[in-house]
């Protein structure tokens, strides 16, 4: 059973392991420019983490005209990935 769908730009590829999904998002997709500070960040989980961890919710909402639901959805994604994923493995695989 595949549980994790990529979802970037309609990509419907699915993965059994969340680690595989995050590595795929960060390595197979182009980097995206942060709408708040202009930094180039890997797409998917890392892009969400960047914008929520490095910027205030207000800055994020202003830059993306995000609804409270959109913010909450991203917070849920972060929480889910961080609960389920071995982030050390992901970083090692991306750096390796
Ligand atoms: Zn993808
Ligand atoms: Zn930024």
Q: Ligand 2 center to residue 2 CA distance, Å?
A: 31
Can you list the positions of beta strands (E) in 1-96? 4-5, 14-15, 32-33, 40-41
- Quote the number of domains for the chain: 1
pTM given for the model: 0.89
Residue 95 CA to ligand 2 center (angstroms) comes to 21
pLDDT of residue 2: 64
Question: Which ligand is located closest to the Cα atom of residue 56?
Answer: 2
What average pLDDT is seen over the chain?
95
Question: 77 C-alpha vs ligand 2 centroid, how far in Å?
Answer: 18
pLDDT over 60 at 79, yes or no: yes
How far, in Å, is the centroid of ligand 2 from the Cα of 45? 14
Q: How would DSSP label each residue in 26-72?
A: HHHS--EE-TTT--EE-STHHHHHHHHHHS-HHHHHHHHT--HHHHH
> Average pLDDT in the 5-9 region?
93
Quote the domain boundaries for residue 14: 4-95
pLDDT tens, 39-54?
999 999 999 999 999 9
Residue 10 CA to ligand 1 center (angstroms) comes to 8
pLDDT tens string 10-25: 999 999 999 999 999 9
**pLDDT for position 1:** 57
How much distance in Å is there from the Cα of 46 to the middle of ligand 2? Answer: 11
Per-residue model confidence (pLDDT) at position 47:
96
């Amino acid at each position: 059973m595949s549980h994790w769908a990529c979802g970037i730009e309609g990509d419907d590829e699915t993965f059994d392991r969340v680690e595989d999904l995050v590595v795929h998002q960060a390595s197979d997709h182009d980097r995206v420019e942060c709408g708040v500070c202009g930094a180039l960040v890997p797409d998917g989980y890392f892009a969400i983490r960047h914008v929520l961890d490095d910027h205030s919710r207000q800055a994020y909402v202003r830059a993306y005209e995000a609804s409270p639901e959109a913010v909450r959805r991203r917070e849920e994604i972060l929480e889910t990935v961080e609960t389920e994923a071995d982030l050390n493995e992901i970083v090692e695989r991306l750096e390796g």
